[in-house]
C-alpha cells in the first residue's frame, strides 16, 4: 500500500494550485520548475469570467502553462489579453503559442512592437538561441503607450511606462479591495536584487526614474518577472532597489545578481 505522504504527490498538489491572492496565480516559471527552463515568472489574473496573462515565457513552457491553467479550474480560451512587460526573449517566446492555444491578443509597448514582431536586437533573441530556445514571433495586437486603463472582465489594469531595463518596459497595476498589486516585469524585484543591466536599450537614468514612479504608486504587493513575489510591504523592497540604483556605481556593481 502506497504512502499517503509521498513527497512527489504533495509537490504535485502544490504546483497545480499556486494561488497567490484572490485574483493572482503563478502559472509558470522556470526557476520554480513550474514550466520550462528559461521561462520568466508568468502570472494569471482572474478577471471574473475572463482571464489576463502577464508575460509568456521563453516558449517551451506553454504546454505546461496551459495544463496548469486547466488544473486551476480555468478555461485557457477565456484569456483575453497577454500583457508583455518587455521585449526580452524569456518574456515573449510563448506569444505565438499562447495566441494559437487561446486566441488572446498580445499587448506590448509601442516602442518595442517592431522588435517583438521581428525578433530584433532588443529581444536578445540570439542569447535565447544560445540558451537552446527557438520560437517564431507573433504580432502585437495592442500597442501600449503608458497611462492607459484597460478593463478585462471585472478587473482594471493600469499601464505604467517604466523604461530603463528596456525602452518599452511597462508595469501593470491592479487593485483588489484596497490592496495595490504591481507587476514590474524585470524593472524591479524582491529584496532589491538587480537584474541584467547592460543590454541594448538599457538606460540607467530612465531606470532610476521608473523606480521612483513605482514608489509613488505605493504598492502593497509585487509580482516580478524573476525571483520571489512579495505579498506585503512591497514599498520596502522598492526602497532598497532605489537606494542601490542611486548608490555610487562601483558599489552597485558588487550587488548585481
Rounded to an integer, the average pLDDT of 39-57 is: 97
- Other Cβ atoms closer than 10 A to 95: 27
Task: Count Cβ neighbours within 10 Å for each residue of 22-39 and write b for 16 or more, e otherwise.
Answer: ebbbbbbbbeeebbbebb
Between 99 and 3, the higher pLDDT residue? 99
Supply the pLDDT for residue 16: 52
- Of the pLDDT bands very low, low, confident and very high (cuts 50, 70, 90), residue 10 is very low
Query: What is the value of pTM for the model shown?
Result: 0.90
Secondary structure in 3-state letters for 112-160: HHHHHHHCCHHHCHHHHHHCCCCCCCCCCCEEECCCCEEEECCEEEEEE
- Residue 77 cell numbers, joined: 480560451
Q: What is the pLDDT of residues 111-146, one digit of tens each?
A: 999 999 999 999 999 999 998 999 999 999 999 999
Q: Quote the pLDDT of residue 125.
A: 96
Task: Supply the pLDDT for residue 257.
Answer: 35
Classify domain 7-253 by CATH number: 3.60.15.10
- List the domain boundaries for the chain: 7-253
Cell triple for residue 57?
Answer: 515565457
d(CA 6, CA 197): 42
Residue with cell string 516602442: 111
pLDDT confidence bin for 194, thresholds 50/70/90: confident
- What is the per-residue burial (b if ≥16 Cβ within 10 Å, else e) of 180-209? bbbbbbbbbbbebbbbeeebebbeeebbee
- Rounded to a whole number, what is the distance in angstroms from the first to the last CA of the chain? 46
Q: 5 falls in which pLDDT band (50, 70, 90)?
A: very low
Amino acid at each position: 500500500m502506497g504512502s499517503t505522504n509521498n513527497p512527489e504527490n504533495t509537490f504535485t498538489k502544490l504546483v497545480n494550485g499556486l494561488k497567490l491572492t484572490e485574483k493572482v496565480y503563478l502559472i509558470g516559471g522556470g526557476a520554480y520548475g513550474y514550466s520550462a527552463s528559461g521561462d520568466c515568472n508568468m502570472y494569471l489574473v482572474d478577471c471574473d469570467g475572463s482571464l489576463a496573462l502577464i508575460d509568456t515565457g521563453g516558449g517551451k513552457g506553454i504546454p505546461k502553462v496551459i495544463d496548469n491553467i486547466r488544473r486551476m479550474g480555468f478555461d485557457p480560451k477565456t484569456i483575453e489579453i497577454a500583457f508583455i512587460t518587455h521585449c526580452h526573449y524569456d518574456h515573449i517566446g510563448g506569444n505565438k503559442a499562447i495566441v494559437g492555444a487561446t486566441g488572446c491578443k498580445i499587448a506590448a509597448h509601442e516602442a518595442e512592437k517592431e522588435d517583438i514582431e521581428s525578433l530584433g536586437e532588443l529581444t536578445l533573441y540570439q542569447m535565447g538561441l544560445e540558451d537552446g530556445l527557438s520560437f517564431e514571433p507573433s504580432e502585437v495586437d495592442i500597442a501600449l503607450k503608458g497611462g492607459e486603463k484597460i478593463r478585462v472582465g471585472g478587473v482594471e489594469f493600469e499601464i505604467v511606462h517604466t523604461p530603463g531595463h528596456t525602452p518599452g518596459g511597462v508595469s501593470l497595476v491592479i487593485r483588489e479591495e484596497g490592496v495595490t498589486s504591481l507587476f514590474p516585469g524585470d524593472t524591479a524585484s524582491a529584496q532589491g536584487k538587480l537584474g541584467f543591466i547592460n543590454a541594448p536599450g538599457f538606460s540607467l537614468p530612465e531606470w532610476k526614474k521608473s523606480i521612483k514612479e513605482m514608489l509613488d504608486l505605493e504598492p502593497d504587493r509585487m509580482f516580478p518577472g524573476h525571483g520571489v513575489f512579495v505579498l506585503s510591504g512591497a514599498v520596502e523592497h522598492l526602497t532598497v532597489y532605489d537606494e542601490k540604483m542611486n548608490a555610487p556605481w562601483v558599489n552597485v556593481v558588487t550587488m548585481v545578481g
